[in-house]
Every structure is written in structure tokens, then in C-alpha cells.
Amino acid sequence: MRVLVLGAGQLARMMALEAIPLNIEVQAFDVRSDQIVDPINQQVLGEGLQQALRDADVVTAEFEHIPQAVLEPCEQSGKFLPGSRAILSGGDRRIEKALLQQAGVASAAYAEVQSKAELEAAVQQLGLPLVLKSALEGYDGKGQWRLKQIEQLDAVWAEVAQFLKQASKKAKQGIVAEQFIPFDYEVSLVGARGKDGQCVYYPLTENHHVNGVLSVSLPRSAHPLQAQAERMFQAIADELDYVGVLAIEFFAVGDRLLVNEIAPRVHNSGHWSQQGADTSQFANHIRAVCGLPLGATALLRPTLMVNILGLDQLPDSVLAIPGLHLHWYGKTPRPGRKMGHINLAADSADTLAQRFAELIALLPADDFPELTQMQSRIS
């Protein structure tokens, strides 16, 4: 069986690595170059979407910002999972918000704004503070503005208006104004839904972000909000008739979860599953879209994940830490770019905390800020 992944980045690479033991071949279609490539070694295998679709048994995606000219023939092929509606929902906040309402899932109150007058109306409707988010092409903290006081409105709108003016003409950009949620912490749920509608769930994962980019993920084997998260996941997945791995990011506010955003694909906060679960999120996505039984998702041992941003090497001494696994993506370094990740595992929470402290001491502090903020949560 051959799976075609739209996108040729690290997520396609990790799916391909997990597909090999299943005797499944994965190829990637680079939507920027129109080339078909091997996602592991980036060797060019062919060119053109039509050829790629002809040769594939299943088509899936590693990211949601896919041009409509690529999505349409994939959908028409009848091979595309989880389908274009799911991808569009993950790539456009306006569609995403409508989906959440249709599924009956709670999220922050919002309004769509295209003008200063509409922003003023949103302030009257929703109150302050507000978070303004670009409807398209917003990820890792990009395309977001905070409006805390009414006196800031003119200056904030000037920035937003300039952003809209410079936006791509290929798709209609917009702004979603959301009520700011004074959340306690952020969590995500990664799960998989098979072709038969069966869902399996990984443990809720607590996430720490720095400048809007995920820094550390820490899965919890018995989180008190797990059941609530699973109900919300199933409502969204059933609404989409979803097949594959889906990630949902939440704000935890007391004993209540509010959806922040969805990602219709394997997700950064689920990378820990490579060392912390019997079946990684990458393997379960391949299983799901290929119609195979889904694998076990329970947390086998205390585990955490640390993102590596902008660096293509670390001190060799980190490899001396027991339970540490390095995953490099083979990218050319540039500031802020996701270059790889570290998975760290142990037999107990105390040992994981000890090993995490050892790791923090070895990593350059300027490149790995705020790691200590997650130390106290390991228990």
C-alpha cells in the first residue's frame, strides 16, 4: 500500500518512518515545488499532483495550509483522508469556529472583523481584553494581536489593517476577535478515529509555550479533565466524519475546557508518544487512514517532550542521560525554526524530574528559555 502525504516536512518524515514496519510506503507531495519526494531522504521521485494521486492508494496531509488548487483534486480522487472539510477547518479560524458551534463544543466567544468599525462593534459585544487572530496562515503565535484597553484600538487596528493589506490575494484573509480567556494552563488531546468510527485517545498533555511556540509537553496518565476532553474530541470528529489523528488544543479554566484550536493532523504536542506509548501518533495515523486496527495509546511511563528551535546540534553530553531520545528533522537552521525534539522518559515521576533537571543544566539557556517552569509540574 502507498500513502501520499501532502507536505514534505518533519511530520511526513516521522509518518514514513513508522510506516516502514507496517510494510506501507509513504511518499510526500511538496505543494511549493510540485514535486513528489521521499520524505525521509528528500529524494525527488517524480513531479505533478496528478501522477502522485494516480500512484497513491490513500492521500493524507501533514499540515492544514494547503492551496485550494491542491485540495480539490485530492478530494475528487476519493482517496483523501481526513478530507478537505477537516483540513479547511484547521486552516481557517472562521470555518473552525463554525465547526465548533455545529459540534456543540465550547470555545471563546468571538466575532469576525474586517474593518475598524467592526472591531469597535466587537469590543461592545465581547468586552475587553480581546485577542485578534488572522483567519488564515496563523500558527506558532504568528498573526495575533492583543487589545487590552480601548485606548489601544487605533494603534492595534493600524497594525491589523497593514497585515490585511499585505495578505495574499489567493484567499480572502480575515480577522477573528476572541474574548481573552484567563486560563489556568493549556492542554491538548491527541486522538485517532478509524474508518469504522472507533476513537482512541492519548493522555491529556500539559503544554508550555514561549512566545506562542510550544516548548515542553508533559502527558498526564490520569488527568481529571480527560473524559471531558474525549467527549469534545468525539463530537468534533463525528461532525467531520474524521479519519486519522486529530489534535485539539484547550484552555483549562478551573474544571472546564474551552477549545483554543484544532489541528487535523499529527501534532507537535503528541511527539512524546514515540517513547511514551506502545503506538505513536504517527503509527496510529497511518493505521487509521489505511483502515488498520488502531494501536494502544496509554502512557507507559512518565515522559516529556522538549522542542529544539533554531539549533542543529546539542552538547553530546545530553546523550548520557538515561531515557533521552533525540529526533532531528534534517533541516537547515534558522532562528525559531523547529529543528528537532527531545523525548525524555523514566520509570517514575521523581526520576523524570531529576533527569529533566540534568537536561536543563546541559542545554544553552538562551535557546531553551523557561524550561524550569515545567519542572514543578512533574509529579
- Report yes or no on 104 lying in a domain: no
Residue 58's pLDDT is what?
98
Residue 169's pLDDT is what?
61
Residue 138's pLDDT is what?
65
Same domain, 349 and 225: yes
The DSSP-derived string for 159-175 is HHHHHHHHS-TTS---E
Same domain, 133 and 154: yes
Which domain CATH number covers 44? 3.40.50.20
- Report yes or no on 304 lying in a domain: yes
Element (H, E) at 28: strand 25-30
Residue 166's pLDDT is what?
84
Residue 137's pLDDT is what?
75
- Report yes or no on 92 lying in a domain: no
Q: What is the mean pLDDT of residues 359-363?
A: 98
For the cut 80, the answer to whether the pLDDT of residue 50 exceeds it is yes
Residue 167's pLDDT is what?
78
Same domain, 199 and 295: yes
Same domain, 198 and 291: yes
Query: Domain end: 156, 179, 202, which one?
Result: 179
Q: What is the mean pLDDT of residues 370-375?
A: 92
With bands split at pLDDT 50, 70 and 90, how would you rate the model's confidence at 193? very high
Q: Are 176 and 95 in contact (CB under 8 A)?
A: no
Same domain, 287 and 318: yes
Q: What is the mean pLDDT of residues 248-267?
A: 98
Same domain, 246 and 132: no
Same domain, 138 and 260: no
Residue 141's pLDDT is what?
62
Q: What is the mean pLDDT of residues 179-205?
A: 97
With bands split at pLDDT 50, 70 and 90, how would you rate the model's confidence at 94? very high
Q: What is the mean pLDDT of residues 15-33?
A: 97
- Report yes or no on 88 lying in a domain: no
Give me the long-range contacts of 40-45 (CB less than 8 A, separation at least 24): 40/13, 40/16, 42/8, 42/330
CA 118/CA 129 separation, integer angstroms: 16
With bands split at pLDDT 50, 70 and 90, how would you rate the model's confidence at 104? very high
Same domain, 167 and 192: no
Give CA separation, 249 vs 69, 208, 214, 317, in Å. 28, 12, 11, 34
- Report yes or no on 99 lying in a domain: no
Q: What is the mean pLDDT of residues 31-57?
A: 97
Same domain, 30 and 8: yes
Residue 165's pLDDT is what?
87
Q: What is the mean pLDDT of residues 89-112?
A: 97
With bands split at pLDDT 50, 70 and 90, how would you rate the model's confidence at 140? low
Which domain CATH number covers 170? 3.30.1490.20
> Total structural domains in the chain?
3
Same domain, 220 and 314: yes
Give CA separation, 60 vs 120, 285, 301, in Å. 41, 9, 30
Q: Which of 7-11, 97-101, 169-173, 281-285 has the lowest mean pLDDT?
A: 169-173
Q: What is the mean pLDDT of residues 109-126?
A: 96
C-alpha cell at 313: 546540534
Q: Are 96 and 117 in contact (CB under 8 A)?
A: no
With bands split at pLDDT 50, 70 and 90, how would you rate the model's confidence at 139? low
- Report yes or no on 142 lying in a domain: yes
Query: Domain end: 148, 179, 210, which one?
Result: 179
Tens digits of residue pLDDT in 141-152: 678 999 999 999
Q: What's the CA dihedral at 175, 178, 180, 185 to 10 degrees?
A: -100
- Report yes or no on 69 lying in a domain: yes
Q: Are 190 and 268 in contact (CB under 8 A)?
A: no
Query: Domain end: 179, 196, 219, which one?
Result: 179
Same domain, 57 and 149: no
Which domain CATH number covers 280? 3.30.470.20
Q: What is the mean pLDDT of residues 211-230?
A: 96
Query: Across the chain, what does the average pLDDT equal?
Result: 96
- Report yes or no on 89 lying in a domain: no
Residue 101's pLDDT is what?
97
Task: Give the helix, strand, coil percentages of the chain, each rounded to 5.
Answer: 35, 30, 35
Q: What is the mean pLDDT of residues 372-379?
A: 89
Give the highest mean pLDDT range of 158-167, 243-252, 366-375. 243-252
Same domain, 282 and 329: yes
Question: What is the reported pTM?
Answer: 0.95
Q: What is the mean pLDDT of residues 269-297?
A: 98
Tens digits of residue pLDDT in 321-344: 999 999 999 999 999 999 999 999
Domain that holds residue 162: 109-179
